[in-house]
Structure 1
Amino acid sequence: MKESLIGWVYIFAWKILRALPESTAYSLFDQGARFLVKRNPKSVARLRSNLARVKPEATESEMQALLQDAMSSYMRYWCDTFRFPNWSKERINSTVTVTRENLLLDAITSGRGVIVSLPHAGNWDHAGAYFCLKGIHLVTVAERLKPERLFLEFLRYRQAMGMEVLALDSRSIVTLAQRLREGHLVALVSDRDLSKSGVDVNFFGHPARMPAGPAVLAIKTGAILVTAFVNYTERGIHITFDEIKVPSEGTQEEKVSIIVQKSADNFAHGISKYPQDWHMLQRIWIDEDFKERM
């Protein structure tokens, strides 16, 4: 019953929020962020504890201000999501700036597949839509949500941007490898392990676990691997790309470990600069002795 209600709330929001004046919609979501920070539900408390590891030197007042900015950024993402079907191609293109865009475009032009590994930061759907508008075939995966109708709505939402979306299951890795060999772009959000069999990394000085998928695909297919960090700007988003070289020596396990750690380091660099845009409201670190700051 609860899952069904949540699904209907999302579907209702996709329809109703598109009809509101833009300033009204974003103001409502910003007010919602303030309300959530005040209420401090479990997800907000988790975000606070995650940010405390990113900024351990922050005072209580500084952490409270950062938490408010982070929730405002998170709610901005959702308002973007609900209103995105109204955005014109001109708006999508004109509100994106990119650092080292050539890392992706040159590889695509050459016919090599490209893997983009990125964290839950900024608006990654906006970034994906921007590259789809360039005629790039972008493939990604989506966690299967409940209820099924909500999952299908997210599929339609991303497919409408031009993305090929695969359900996250044991078969998706085979299709992703095939798409890379065909010279396409595969984008994977990779800062949280959903399989429970990820790779151990040092993340902000503490143990975390991140998925091996992007590294394994790069090794198996010879595709170029880049990390991307997406942060919000006043008008839209900025994307920063960094290439990760596949080690030439070592076992596959050793290579994967090196690649995933380097990806984690790149994520950490972006998060350190723009912690308010890291939308991680779930557990990320695996050590048990960390006490959440309330």
Structure 2
Amino acid sequence: MNRLKNTLTLLLFFVASRIPSWVATFVISISAPCYRLLNSQTMRQLRRNLTIVMGRAPSRDEEITALKSYWQYFASAFTLGRATKVQIENRVFASIPAQLLEEIKTKSVVVAMGHQGDWDLAGAFFAAKYAPVLTVAENLNPPSLAKKFTDLRRDIGMEIILLEKGKSVFSTLVDKARKAPRLVPLLADRDLSGGGIVVPFCGTEALFAPGPAALAKRLDTSLYVVNMQLLELPPERRKIAKTKYGIKLIVNGPIERPRVTDNDLVVEWTKSWVKTWEAGIKLAPTDWHMTQAVFLPDLDPVRLAKARKRYQQNVGEN
């Protein structure tokens, strides 16, 4: 099923990169209500995640808004490679702490984030305006799809380390982050390694990747957290950006380093940034593009135990 989904994504990549952005936006607007009615597993999981975050069942309009936001991310990502620096900068309203901008001049800085808003646009914006971006992305199948995304991100100023499910790229990430000052944003609201940390989140518990806190600890650098919201650009921006939609980018931090033992630091630091990120998620829950199970009650305990066992084996081998 995942392979079919990724193959369809590759087809959409080909089509979307060759049509005007307004056409893609129109197709999304008429497709989202129809897709919702199919009530697929993806739709049911999205609804389940929204229900937990919002504390109630989402309305029909909220579900459609969530689908539109999710698909708008892809429509933007597929065409980002042909956007100019000026167009990218006009697609983003950013709030970034002055301390981060000062730190990035001399050392790499880590930013924790989730599948929210448009993270590729955010990376392109930062790379165009401030510093190179280094990050990790899931290695997708078919390989041609992974190559498409990797080439796209490289063209807009981001270096990508591909992550195989159940594997670790931590040492590679550390080495590259130490070579030169870079922003290192890491998607961490879904654990792919098997080493996820159970964190209080939206009234229950969820698995978050340890990467941001672990990397900040290893590099002895600051840890920030970012929230992103999809927004309709004002007319003056829309004309320059050549698209209807952009994002509001809000960076918070640095997240205070917990005064705990070295062994507990990654867990406690992760809990701290997630708490800050949760507040941003609740402001715009329909911009969280999470269609997989991440909350602990939704996870298969047997599969989770196997993933943790594989992770421990990989750690032991490395």
Q: Do Structure 1 and Structure 2 share a fold, with TM-score over 0.5? A: yes
Find out whether 1:204 has 2:202 as its counterpart. Answer: yes
Are 1:99 and 1:241, in contact at CA under 8 Å, matched by a contact in 2? yes
Residues 139-178 of structure 1 aligned to structure 2 (within 5 Å): 139-169=134-164, 170=167, 172-178=169-175
State the number of aligned residues.
Answer: 284
Report deviation, 1:29. 1.7
What corresponds to 2:27 in structure 1? 28
Which residue, out of 43, 62, 72, partners 1:66?
62
1:54-203 alignment to 2 at 5 Å? 54-58=53-57, 62-109=58-105, 111-169=106-164, 170=167, 172-181=169-178, 182-203=180-201
Whether the aligned pair in 1 keeps the contact of 2:21 and 2:75 (CA below 8 Å) is no
CA deviation string 1:102-148 (max 9, x = no partner): 24311112x12200110100000000000111251210111111111
Distance (Å, rounded) in 1 between the aligned partners of 2:206 and 2:39: 24
8 Å CA contact 1:122, 1:237 repeated in 2: yes
| Aligned counterpart, 1:11 | 10
Structure-to-structure mapping, 1:222-241, within 5 angstroms: 222-235=220-233, 236-241=246-251
Distance (whole Å) between structure 2 residues aligned to residue 280 and residue 75 of structure 1: 12
SS, match of residue 133 in structure 1? helix
* Residues 153, 160 of structure 2: 8 Å contact kept: yes
Instruction: Please point out which of 244, 263, 270 is paired with 1:260.
Output: 270
Aligned partners of 1:144, 1:210: CA distance in 2, in Å? 19
Distance 2:292 2:35 in 1: 16
Q: Structure 1: where are the runs of 5+ without partners? A: 290-294
Uncovered stretches (5+) of structure 2, i.e. residues with no partner: 234-245, 300-318
8 Å Cα contact 2:97/2:252 also seen in 1 = no
- 1:247-294 CA distances to partner (integer Å, 9 max, x unpaired)? 2x32233211211111211221111000110000000111259xxxxx
Asked if 1:245 is matched to 2:256, the reply is yes
Q: In structure 2, how many angstroms separate the alpha carbons of the residues matched to 1:36 and 1:143?
A: 25
Deviation at 1:7, TM superposition (A): 4.8
- 1:30-89 deviation line (CA, Å, top 9, x unaligned): 22211211111000100000000111245xxx5222111101101111111222223221
Identity of aligned residues (%): 30
Match of 2:47 in 1: 48
Change in 2 beyond 3 A, CA 1:2/1:122: closer
Q: For 1:45 and 1:30, how far apart are their aligned partners in 2?
A: 20
Task: Quote the Cα distance in structure 2 between the aligned partners of 1:64 and 1:25.
Answer: 22
Partner of 1:292: none
**Root-mean-square deviation (Å):** 2.1
Q: Which moved more, 1:257-266 or 1:270-279?
A: 257-266
Give the direction of change, closer, same or farther, for the CA distance of 1:103–1:276 in structure 2 (3 Å limit): farther
Partner in structure 1 of residue 290 of structure 2: 280
| Residue type of the alignment partner of 2:100 | L
